[in-house]
A and B are shown apart, each in its own frame.
Chain A
């Protein structure tokens, strides 16, 4: 039985990883989850300098999911390399670094800084975070801007580049194509859906930022549809995410066209969720006579 998948020349022992921002850099959750078992660790978005993020409250529970407006708080690339990348050196798993920026230059600074870091297997470019007012959103919602930033990053990146798409667009297929045309090695989706929640007794927004990104099982059917549409629009591999909680959910995304999957907010519900997904995929393969996980990718 083979659970290995290959994305842009990088081999994953299995197709399961965490979704950026829900797992830190793996440090905290390593107590509950053996990181060596994961296909990859995807780290929290990092910028070229420290970002303070948004005021609190930053998170709110919603039906079968949650909203967040963390605002991409991060300690900056220097601390990240020194602390988080160093921590991950000891583990036998791929490392995918999620990158954020307020401008093209800021993205490029991070990509350049990571160019010679051997521990980084891939870059994931977050052009879709709906939280940060200063930017980010622009690259992810217009095809031309997405094409431009992809091209600029690809010119200097030493690692394969995954462009992470925003679902807050009219045509996800157009965005997927723009990333592919810009030279992306892969795409990942979906990021969170822009949402709002109001506390009717306090007459206040649930989040200080007013809006936040919706994630969790509530968004899963939307995500499956978008992964299907995007994967049919491009030839490059797709990493699917959005509400994955179980192995069945992961398999659904793969049948829709994803070569690999990520578990996001469900880690908060169950810190051992990813291990259960990995074990469950193997059980499913055994039960249904799948010898190679690649057989099911886009099989519907």
Chain B
């Protein structure tokens, strides 16, 4: 368990729609100083009817300025409430939560591949930024899968700042027509370490690709969460080895994860 998690009332600084139904918010919070790439926060709603906090990945953090950036897709009550928020509004946050991406696993690696699908891309931005501190840009490549031009690409310019960017789209309107794996093949990309976040079918494909190529892949998982801090046992994933907490091969995604070695989890 991370002893560095806190609860904070965070003030919205900016909030903008960056693609169709995809929003990016900047929050002022001292939680930013504690964050690592790949961790997440629980965001409280302002409703007496929707009582569970919503898990959202930390996309970026500015430790010195206490700024946290979140990027999300509107799908239901909580994410729409966040989209409607104006600067000055306050959200209850718990975090930073979870383990985050093991950045040091990229030490001495020359072909670092970040694979993101749709709304799984945002946490990889913070990761890429962090990796850039210890690696030259030409060692880091982000492969991002989008739906297509019509619904909008997002964060592409941000990613380009820290390394190479390769894109795939479902409809072929931009980049490789097909999946992120298709894009990796088409561009002849090599990997000696993979970090990934996105929808389950993509993560399964990444797991398979990594196994075939003998590369370690760190993947970030999602599950329905009630507490976000490891207390309710709502958010588990089946694991190959017994974890130190559950002793029944059911690790808590919110605490032992959300990032797991793809080989370790049954997805």
Footprint of B on A, CB under 8 Å?
21-24, 27-29, 31-32, 44, 50-53, 56-61, 63-66, 68, 70, 73, 75-76, 79, 216-217, 265-272
Contact = CB atoms under 8 A, between A and B. Distances in A.
Contact of A58 (B231, B234, B246, B249): B234
A44 B6 CA distance: 23
Contacts of B119: none
Interface string B236-267: 11000000011111100001000000000000
Contact of A75 (B5, B51, B235, B246): B246
B104 interface: no
B51 A65 contact: yes
A59 B249 contact: no
A21 B246 contact: no
B248 to A, nearest CB: 4
Contacts of A44: 231, 233
Contact of A76 (B50, B228, B247): B247
A216 B228 CA distance: 17
Nearest to A18: B231
Residue with the greatest number of chain B CB neighbours at <10 A, chosen from A59, A216, A268: A268
Contacts of B225: 59
Contacts of A267: 227, 231
Nearest to B7: A32
B142 interface: no
B226 A59 contact: yes
A153 B234 CA distance: 30
A53 B223 contact: no
Contact of B52 (A66, A75, A272): A66
Contact of A73 (B7, B224, B231, B248): B248
A216 B51 contact: yes
Given A58-B234, A268-B51, A269-B44, A28 B227 contact: yes
Contacts of B230: 24, 27-28
A70 B232 contact: yes
B5 to A, nearest CB: 6
B53 A269 contact: yes
B227 A50 contact: no
B229 interface: yes
A264 to B, nearest CB: 10
A60 B224 contact: yes
B51 A23 contact: no
B232 A268 contact: yes
A154 to B, nearest CB: 29
Residue with the greatest number of chain B CB neighbours at <10 A, chosen from A28, A63, A76: A28
A79 B243 CA distance: 12
Contact of A268 (B3, B6, B92, B227): B227
